[in-house]
Structure 1
């Protein structure tokens, strides 16, 4: 029996992601008819068995490049498929197949060219400061409304063309989010992606230092993005006292991350990827 044509393509850049990749790909392909998605995993600069793990999942095409570059991996993945809509999925997040289809449906709506899922951040195994940080972070309006920090977004053909015209920056999901007006992007509440948080403060600081470095690069390229001021945090704390109690932790980690990012910014180093290994344990 012949498979029906794919309704969407999925590009998954993967660098040393053998630990959870097979399970994440299996979740993506379960609950939907075979052939629903054309899935391309681009293993970039891997020194583990990421490629083997990806090939063990039926229906997945695997490409390999020796260069450890997410930007290059995405470029190669985009070139390997012409199917739209196109879902971009980080290798370390889990998005069930039916939820992915809901994102595909969202970008079929008039004037909607980008869609992201709601995020679930299970902090049960994280230390208290990490849990406190994410309690505040997830309450921020820009975080609730933006496409960034989800590890998954879906683009229409027009949306992909618009993103392709943008500068290749470290915080690629921020660039994607800001490429669209609010009316052109959609957060789909009944599609949920699971994003594993860091477990330790040290790993959280590494992750946030990377984000702060990428934000500085975005500023230098005049990429507009929402920033959170002290007054915003005070207002948030007054509206939600339980969140307000955690604001000092959020501020402390934010200040440390911005301070640590200065060295990379001064050196113009926007390629070093400060990876959080604890979320992959």
Structure 2
């Protein structure tokens, strides 16, 4: 196509009435890409709260910005179903941004993602996560998590990732998998993943029990990917932590290391949950 590509932002949201406002306010403050054509779709799935109503209240504000806000309500609580239904009517030439409802973007993240992905070759991109937590346990875990090789190297794409049309053509509908973000990221070789130097805030779960549930779910998601799509794992570029790396982390942040170790031990002691775990 000629000219800048439009951008479509998809936000699956399940019982996120307490967080969707912050997510949408951050988008309203974002610098638009040069194309100016931006659509935002909130897919409220399986909600028993006011997530959809709170999102609908932003329609006029987005219209004033020149963006289109759609709100879709699904009875089924499924992130994968939400993604597939949210994508159904999107223009194929659009750059697609997949955004968790608890994430807040910085003002220039969208324009930098658009610039990075406005190309004919398949590409994947994300920003620089600022991992946050409110309670003491969550803050300690977040500090340690941010220093792990997976987060400090490469393009993890936690909470937000984006692909261009050529990249989106690499798979069809989202399959019924736990790790939708891992599934997408591993459709791209390391050299096809772009780290945009703009931040976004990504919160971890609060409390030890919630961290164990979410971490167990993350681990189960990667095991599922390895079992069902072993060909994708060849594109993993996560460097190993190793004994020396673990020792350095323990010396640098003993409390964070202790909390992280407690979460890892808790995951080993209990089976992974059957459903998607949000932890709040």
TM-score calculated relative to the size of structure 1: 0.82
Q: Tell me, what secondary structure is at the counterpart of 2:73? A: strand
Match of 1:215 in 2: 222
Describe the shift of the 1:192–1:140 C-alpha distance in structure 2 as closer, same or farther (beyond 3 A). Answer: same
Match of 1:10 in 2: 9
Q: CA deviation at 1:36?
A: 3.9
* Post-superposition CA distance 1:173-228 (Å, at most 9, x none): 11111111111011112x21111222311221121111122122122112414678
**More displaced stretch, 192-201 vs 24-33:** 24-33
Match of 1:106 in 2: 116
Residue of 67, 73, 77 corresponding to 1:64: 73
Whole-angstrom distance in 1 between the partners of 2:5 and 2:107: 13
Whole-angstrom distance in 2 between the partners of 1:233 and 1:18: 42
Quote the RMSD (CA, aligned, Å).
2.8
Q: Tell me, what secondary structure is at the counterpart of 2:108? A: helix
Q: Tell me, what secondary structure is at the counterpart of 1:117? A: strand
Q: Tell me, what secondary structure is at the counterpart of 1:60? A: strand
Match of 2:62 in 1: none
Q: What count of residue pairs does the alignment treat as equivalent?
A: 263
Describe the shift of the 1:196–1:254 C-alpha distance in structure 2 as closer, same or farther (beyond 3 A). Answer: same
Residue of 269, 274, 279 corresponding to 2:277: 274
Whole-angstrom distance in 2 between the partners of 1:236 and 1:165: 39
Whole-angstrom distance in 2 between the partners of 1:261 and 1:75: 29
Whole-angstrom distance in 2 between the partners of 1:41 and 1:166: 17
* 8 Å Cα contact 1:21-1:50 kept in structure 2: yes
Q: Tell me, what secondary structure is at the counterpart of 2:87? A: helix
* 8 Å Cα contact 1:236-1:243 kept in structure 2: no
Whole-angstrom distance in 1 between the partners of 2:157 and 2:174: 19
Q: CA deviation at 1:80?
A: 2.5
Match of 2:149 in 1: 141
Match of 1:48 in 2: 49
Pairing of 1:182-261 with structure 2 (within 5 A): 182-189=190-197, 191-221=198-228, 222=230, 223-224=232-233, 225=236, 232-238=242-248, 241-243=251-253, 246-261=256-271
Describe the shift of the 1:152–1:33 C-alpha distance in structure 2 as closer, same or farther (beyond 3 A). Answer: closer
* Post-superposition CA distance 1:113-136 (Å, at most 9, x none): 10011001223x222x43333323
Q: CA deviation at 1:50?
A: 0.9
Q: CA deviation at 1:171?
A: 1.0
